[in-house]
């Protein structure tokens, strides 16, 4: 597990699932469907009103978390066939919707991601 520390933020273990990029072949979506999973350490915080404003309307009624990590996370990029990362935290699954990477003097420092809870029907 990778370590992570931002002063004043508590951390805990999470699991990240990343699906490989797919593409359309003869009008049909082709992707291998199997994720790569890794266990990491992150600071997970509840989302607030300002966080909700950054999400599409359909996601504003769902549970939102902020995740601070020292590695890259990714949200969906449908044009390039990229599925969003999923985060397993305390038995609940969240889908990454927004990603903000921060740098200082041109050096990558950390990522803050907004993720919404995935509800299974």
Angstrom distances, CA of residue 71 to CA of 35, 67, 103, 112: 18, 11, 12, 10
**pLDDT for 10:** 83
Question: What mean pLDDT value characterizes the chain?
Answer: 86
Distant-in-sequence, close-in-space partners of 31: CB < 8 Å, separation ≥ 6: 19, 20, 21, 22, 23, 81, 83
Lookup result for tokens 């790569």: 36
Burial class (CB in 10 A: 0-12, 13-18, 19+), 87: buried
Reference 68, options 106, 104, 115, 107; nearest CA is 115
Give the number of other Cβ atoms within 10 Å of residue 115's Cβ. Answer: 29
pTM as predicted: 0.81
Task: Please provide the distance, in angstroms rounded to a whole number, between the alpha carbons at the two ends of the chain.
Answer: 32
Which residue numbers in the chain have pLDDT < 50? none
Q: What is the pLDDT of residue 84?
A: 92
């Amino acid at each position: 597990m990778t370590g992570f520390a931002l002063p004043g933020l508590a951390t805990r273990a999470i699991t990240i699932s990343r699906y490989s990029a797919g593409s359309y072949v003869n009008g049909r979506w082709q992707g291998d469907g199997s994720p790569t999973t890794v266990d990491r350490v992150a600071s997970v915080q509840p989302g607030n009103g300002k966080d909700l404003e950054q999400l599409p309307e359909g996601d504003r009624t769902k549970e939102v978390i902020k995740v601070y990590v020292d590695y890259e996370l990714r949200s969906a990029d449908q044009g390039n066939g990229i599925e969003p990362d999923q985060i397993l935290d305390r038995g609940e699954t969240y889908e990454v919707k927004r990603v903000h990477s921060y740098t200082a003097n041109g050096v990558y420092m950390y990522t803050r991601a907004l993720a919404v809870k995935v509800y299974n029907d």
